[in-house]
Amino acid sequence: MTASSTVLAAASERTHVRVPMRFSDGYATTADVFTFDGLADGREHLLLGLGDWQGALERAASGGPAPLVRPHSECLTGDVFGSERCDCGPQLREAVERIADEGGFLLYLRQEGRGIGLYAKLDAYALQDAGLDTYEANVALGHGEDERDYTVAAQMLTAVGGSAIRLLSNNPDKAVQLEALGIAVEERVPTAVHLSAANAGYLRAKRDHTAHTLDLSAA
């Protein structure tokens, strides 16, 4: 986590390209994909402008609602391979469509496994199979429960003029960190609950341990 009252260094736009997108279920849209110079961790994070994101910024500047924004941490297993051990892939798919409908941004953050990396995440899966929950497994490997830092998300948003947002997330820590970094979170908008037999325990841990906004009454 980032500390409160963090001074945010400026990042600048590096590249801006149009990318047509099509998901496996046939949903299609077009994203304006931004890359940046000056990101705090030096990694290759992306900001995707979806729908009428320019209009959303203009409406916010005139006193209207802020753009809808989702900071989405990379999950190779869920986003690409369709793993059902988490809800990341379905959340990504949902977020792209909802943001495209309203106008806003998806931030694709290179923070696999809550920041511990791909191999360590798979090591944590093995510990979960032995009975630990998703947070206990990270700690057992010598990591923090959640090592993600949203400084780069705040930098990217600031660079495109998104200093006020409506945050599409179930995770309260994202709002806490972004506000400490100078991003005004005008509203927290929960995602749908993507529950499966394979991820019920994972979602319960997120609800019970870190107060994610999840109604798991069917779990």
Residue ranges of alpha helices (H) inside 65-150 are 88-102, 118-129, 134-140
Tokens of 54: 């320019």
Strands (E), 170-210: 184-189
Write down the catalytic residue from 87, 123, 133, 146: 146
Which candidate in 148, 166, 173, 207 is catalytic? 148
Q: Which residues contact 160 (CB under 8 A, 6 or more apart)?
A: 13, 34, 47, 49, 57, 105
Q: Would you say 147 and 114 are in contact if contact means Cβ atoms under 8 Å apart?
A: yes
Contact 92, 71 (CB under 8 A): no
In the annotation, is 166 catalytic?
no
The 10 Å Cβ neighbour count of residue 209 is 14
Q: Is 148 a catalytic residue?
A: yes
Name which of 118, 138, 154 is nearest 2 in CA terms.
154
By annotation, the residues acting in catalysis are: 146, 148
